[in-house]
A and B are shown apart, each in its own frame.
Chain A
């Protein structure tokens, strides 16, 4: 007998080592540019005063800290996408990786509603600052990735109430720490739960798509 995990969703966790200096520089830059000039002019969801969303051209900024983060995030996305694909490595390596990338600054009770990202294949979220309470009080601000199997647990009997990973049905809640990166398929619905910490929560998000020839979509 063999049990396999069919219909699996690839999710990659990575961490940028020795990220304190980079995160300090990023936080300083983002807070300085939390202005109308840099705000996303066409938000897809109702904007809130408690969450600032930048334009989607973050990785075109020339600042060294941005380019350092760009290298880490996009290389991770590339590696994840290649690892999850049956396409030969040399063929995959010829693909061009395109991205929309932005930053979020979240203050008390800010959140981001459940959504996914059309016309992208891989999404990534990097944590610059978690904003958690040093005393350890729950601060919210979780990245919640929703299980794709909606309704699969509508009927539960004693045999399936406690399925073990990877078969358990349920959402994945991540409290990202500074330097942590998560990469997941863009079709996956996700949200950021309300942040109740005492400071600010700062993240960088990227939507990526590959093309067979160079040039952005």
Chain B
């Protein structure tokens, strides 16, 4: 790609897409979802999005619908062609109690990771950045800074990116990005549903060509 050929200007090269969207899900929906998550506390190896429970089916529709809309907007292939892609997803829920966290993770074999917030409480007074999804800065060029680059403004600044989950909201970002859920400092457990997502060619069932 040649950016700004023949034009003056500044563009964010090598940008990473991160989306936060309000799905519109209401508190009743999230309460039922929270109950379902609690009921699956001891389940292992179960695809949360594969559940026959009506609330899980609705969540899957919600997550994949939002993801497809966002990703279609990021792709240069036409809307008609994008609509023919086949979506594959696998999901699980995390219930994070006070002082608990989700350690650094990333996911091979998927292009996108959706994080849906089912439940989040107010952090105790005095705690900043508690119970956030933190995406790690990994650009090694940050090792040299001078007075001009120490405090670059967004989207050029160096540093981790945090997203504070709110019930009914969903974040979407590339699945290979290392991230964590920081230590929760709230009496209310943080409940998140994660979904690994990939889009496959409808005919080949595989995006690899050649």
Residues of A within 8 A of B78 (CB): none
Q: Is the interface of A mostly helix, strand, loop or mixed?
A: loop
- How many chain A residues touch B (CB < 8 A): the figure is 30
Q: Do B137 and A146 touch (CB < 8 A)?
A: no
Residues of A within 8 A of B119 (CB): none
Stretch at the interface among B2-10, B28-36, B100-108: B100-108
The answer to the question of B140 belonging to the interface, with a C-beta cut-off of 8 Å to chain A, is yes
Complex Cα gap A191–B103 (Å): 11
Q: Do A191 and B104 touch (CB < 8 A)?
A: yes
- How many chain B residues touch A (CB < 8 A): the figure is 27
Complex Cα gap A73–B99 (Å): 33
Known A-B contacts A148-B140, A150-B178; the reply to A194 vs B101 at CB < 8 A is yes
The answer to the question of A28 belonging to the interface, with a C-beta cut-off of 8 Å to chain B, is no
- Minimum C-beta distance from A189 to chain B (A): 6
A161 (CB) vs chain B CBs: closest residue: B108
Residues of A within 8 A of B138 (CB): 146, 148, 150, 189
Q: Do A156 and B109 touch (CB < 8 A)?
A: yes
A111 (CB) vs chain B CBs: closest residue: B183
Complex Cα gap A194–B129 (Å): 14
The answer to the question of B156 belonging to the interface, with a C-beta cut-off of 8 Å to chain A, is no
Q: Do A193 and B103 touch (CB < 8 A)?
A: yes
- Minimum C-beta distance from B118 to chain A (A): 22
Known A-B contacts A109-B183, A116-B142, A119-B145; the reply to A155 vs B104 at CB < 8 A is no
Complex Cα gap A193–B103 (Å): 8
- Minimum C-beta distance from A213 to chain B (A): 20
Complex Cα gap A116–B140 (Å): 9
A148 (CB) vs chain B CBs: closest residue: B140
Q: Do A171 and B104 touch (CB < 8 A)?
A: yes
Complex Cα gap A116–B138 (Å): 9
- B 63-107 to A, binary, CB cutoff 8 A, 1 in contact else 0: 000000000000000000000000000000000000101011000
Residues of B within 8 A of A119 (CB): 143-145
Complex Cα gap A46–B104 (Å): 19
Residues of B within 8 A of A186 (CB): 143
- Minimum C-beta distance from B94 to chain A (A): 15
Known A-B contacts A118-B143, A155-B109, A189-B136; the reply to A108 vs B99 at CB < 8 A is yes
Q: Do A194 and B104 touch (CB < 8 A)?
A: no
Of the candidates B126, B129, B140, B160, which one forms a contact with A187 in the assembled complex, judged by CB atoms under 8 Å apart?
B140
Of the candidates A49, A171, A193, which one forms a contact with B126 in the assembled complex, judged by CB atoms under 8 Å apart?
A49
The answer to the question of B186 belonging to the interface, with a C-beta cut-off of 8 Å to chain A, is no
Of the candidates A109, A117, A146, which one forms a contact with B178 in the assembled complex, judged by CB atoms under 8 Å apart?
A146
Complex Cα gap A26–B164 (Å): 39
Residues of A within 8 A of B61 (CB): none
Complex Cα gap A156–B143 (Å): 30
- A 121-158 to B, binary, CB cutoff 8 A, 1 in contact else 0: 00000000000000000000000101010110111100
The answer to the question of A114 belonging to the interface, with a C-beta cut-off of 8 Å to chain B, is yes
Q: Do B136 and A114 touch (CB < 8 A)?
A: yes
- Minimum C-beta distance from B207 to chain A (A): 11
- Minimum C-beta distance from B101 to chain A (A): 6
13 residue pairs of the A-B complex, CB under 8 angstroms, read A46-B129, A48-B127, A109-B183, A114-B137, A115-B160, A116-B140, A116-B143, A118-B145, A146-B136, A148-B138, A150-B176, A155-B109, A156-B108
Q: A113-B134, A194-B101 are in contact. List 15 more A-B contacts (CB 8 A).
A: A113-B160, A114-B104, A114-B134, A114-B180, A118-B144, A146-B138, A148-B138, A150-B177, A150-B178, A153-B108, A153-B176, A154-B108, A155-B108, A189-B136, A189-B137
